[in-house]
Amino acid sequence: MGGRPPHDDDPLALDRETMRQQGYRVVDLLVDRLMADGPPLRRAAPAEMRERLGGPPSAAPQPLEDVLARLERDVLPYRSRVDHPRFLAFIPGSGTWPGALADFIASACNVYAGSWMESAGPSQVELEVLGWFKDWVGYPPEAAGSLTSGGSAANMTALACAREAKAGAMRDDLVLYVSDQAHSSIARAARILGFRPEQVRVLPTESSLRLSPESLAEAMETDVRAGRTPLAVCASAGTTNSGVTDLLAGLAEVCGKYEAWLHVDAAYGGFAVLTERGRQYVRDLELADSLTLDPHKWLYQPFECGCVLVRDGSLLRSAFELLPDYLSDSRAAAGETNFADLGLQLSRTSRALKVWVSIQTLGLDAFRAAIDRSIELAEHAADRVEASESLDLMRPPSLGIVCLRRRFAGVNEAEQERLNVALAAALEDSGVGLISSTRLHGRFALRLCILNHSTTREDVDAVLDFLEREEPARRPEPMRERHPDMSEMQFPSPLRAQQLFVDLTAADAEEVAALASQREAQPGETVIERWEGTRDFFVILDGTAEVFVSDEHVRSLGPGDFFGELAALDWGAGYSYPRLATVVAASRLRMLVFDEEAFAELLRFSDVERRIRAEVRRRLERR
Ligand SMILES: *Cc1c(COP(=O)(O)O)cnc(C)c1O
d(CA 99, CA 356): 8
Contacts of 227 (CB under 8 A, 6+ apart): 173
Mutate to test the pocket of ligand 1, among 159, 282, 294 (most ligand atoms within 8 A of CB): 294
Structure confidence at residue 477 (pLDDT): 52
Mutate to test the pocket of ligand 1, among 147, 268, 307, 436 (most ligand atoms within 8 A of CB): 268
Residues in the chain: 623
Strands (E) located in 276-395: 290-293, 306-310, 391-393
Mutate to test the pocket of ligand 1, among 240, 241, 293 (most ligand atoms within 8 A of CB): 240
Work out the mean pLDDT of the chain and round it to a whole number: 94
Count of CB atoms situated within 10 Å of the CB of 367: 20
> Which residues sit with their C-beta closer than 6 Å to ligand 1?
91, 150-152, 155, 183, 185, 236, 240, 265, 267-268, 294, 306
Q: Which amino acid is at 273?
A: V
Q: In 3D, which of 374, 345, 497, 486 has the Cα closest to residue 93?
A: 374
In ligand 1, the atom with minimum distance to the C-alpha of 240 is: 15
d(CA 412, CA 81): 35
Query: Can you tell me the mean pLDDT for 70-76?
Result: 96
In ligand 1, the atom with minimum distance to the C-alpha of 303 is: 7
Is 234:191 a contact under the CB 8 Å cutoff?
A: no
Ligand 1 center to residue 336 CA distance, Å? 30
Ligand 1 center to residue 308 CA distance, Å? 12
Structure confidence at residue 493 (pLDDT): 60
Q: From edge to edge, which strands make up the β-sheet containing 582-585? A: 526-528, 582-585, 545-549, 552-557
- For the stretch 460-471, pLDDT in tens is 999 999 999 999
Query: Can you tell me the mean pLDDT for 560-576?
Result: 94
Ligand 1 center to residue 268 CA distance, Å? 6
pLDDT at 380 over 90: yes
- The full DSSP string for 52-104 is HH-SPPPSS---HHHHHHHIIIIITTSSB-TTSTTB-SSS-----HHHHHHHH
pLDDT at 489 over 50: no
- Cα dist. 277→327, 374, 394, 484 in Å? 47, 11, 22, 62
Q: In 3D, which of 346, 292, 343, 305 has the Cα closest to residue 119?
A: 346
What is the maximum alpha-carbon separation in the chain? 92
In ligand 1, the atom with minimum distance to the C-alpha of 183 is: 11
H-helix or E-strand spanning residue 402: strand 401-406
d(CA 287, CA 177): 17
Ligand 1 center to residue 200 CA distance, Å? 19
Contacts of 259 (CB under 8 A, 6+ apart): 166, 230
* Backbone angles phi and psi of 6, in degrees to 5: -65, 145
Q: In 3D, which of 305, 397, 387 has the Cα closest to residue 102?
A: 305
Ligand 1 center to residue 191 CA distance, Å? 17
Q: In 3D, which of 285, 309, 286 has the Cα closest to residue 144?
A: 309
Structure confidence at residue 608 (pLDDT): 93
pLDDT at 11 over 50: yes
- For the stretch 232-255, pLDDT in tens is 999 999 999 999 999 999 999 999
Ligand 1 center to residue 212 CA distance, Å? 22
Structure confidence at residue 170 (pLDDT): 97
* Backbone angles phi and psi of 358, in degrees to 5: -70, -40
Confidence of residue 418 (pLDDT cuts 50, 70, 90): very high
In ligand 1, the atom with minimum distance to the C-alpha of 294 is: 7
Ligand 1 center to residue 418 CA distance, Å? 28
Return the DSSP state at 410: T
Is 271:295 a contact under the CB 8 Å cutoff?
A: yes
- The dihedral sign for the CA sequence 610, 613, 617, 623: positive
Please state whether the peptide bond connecting residue 51 to the residue before it is cis, i.e. omega within 30 degrees of 0: no
- The dihedral sign for the CA sequence 42, 43, 46, 47: negative
Confidence of residue 488 (pLDDT cuts 50, 70, 90): very low
Ligand 1 center to residue 480 CA distance, Å? 39
Closest-CA residue, ligand 1 atom 3, reads 151
Ligand 1 center to residue 90 CA distance, Å? 10
Orientation of helix 413-430 relative to helix 457-469, angle to 10°:
130
Ligand 1 center to residue 272 CA distance, Å? 15
Is 488:497 a contact under the CB 8 Å cutoff?
A: no
Q: Which amino acid is at 204?
A: P
Query: Can you tell me the mean pLDDT for 557-570?
Result: 94
Ligand 1 center to residue 269 CA distance, Å? 10
Higher pLDDT, 231 or 473: 231
Which domains are delineated in the chain? 366-469 (3.90.1150.170), 495-621 (2.60.120.10)
d(CA 82, CA 331): 41
Q: In 3D, which of 206, 146, 156, 204 has the Cα closest to residue 184?
A: 156
Mutate to test the pocket of ligand 1, among 152, 236, 293, 451 (most ligand atoms within 8 A of CB): 152
In ligand 1, the atom with minimum distance to the C-alpha of 182 is: 13
In ligand 1, the atom with minimum distance to the C-alpha of 236 is: 13
- For the stretch 87-131, pLDDT in tens is 999 999 999 999 999 999 999 999 999 999 999 999 999 999 999
Mutate to test the pocket of ligand 1, among 265, 271, 291 (most ligand atoms within 8 A of CB): 265
Ligand 1 center to residue 189 CA distance, Å? 12
d(CA 329, CA 55): 44
Mutate to test the pocket of ligand 1, among 292, 398, 449 (most ligand atoms within 8 A of CB): 292
Closest-CA residue, ligand 1 atom 5, reads 151
Ligand 1 center to residue 552 CA distance, Å? 38
d(CA 320, CA 260): 20
H-helix or E-strand spanning residue 449: strand 443-449
Q: What whole-number percentage of the chain has pLDDT above 90? A: 88
Closest-CA residue, ligand 1 atom 6, reads 151
pLDDT at 591 over 70: yes
Ligand 1 center to residue 155 CA distance, Å? 9
Structure confidence at residue 5 (pLDDT): 72
Closest-CA residue, ligand 1 atom 10, reads 151
Strands (E) located in 118-161: 144-148
Ligand 1 center to residue 567 CA distance, Å? 25
Confidence of residue 481 (pLDDT cuts 50, 70, 90): very low
Query: Can you tell me the mean pLDDT for 206-229?
Result: 96
Structure confidence at residue 7 (pLDDT): 80
pLDDT at 491 over 80: no
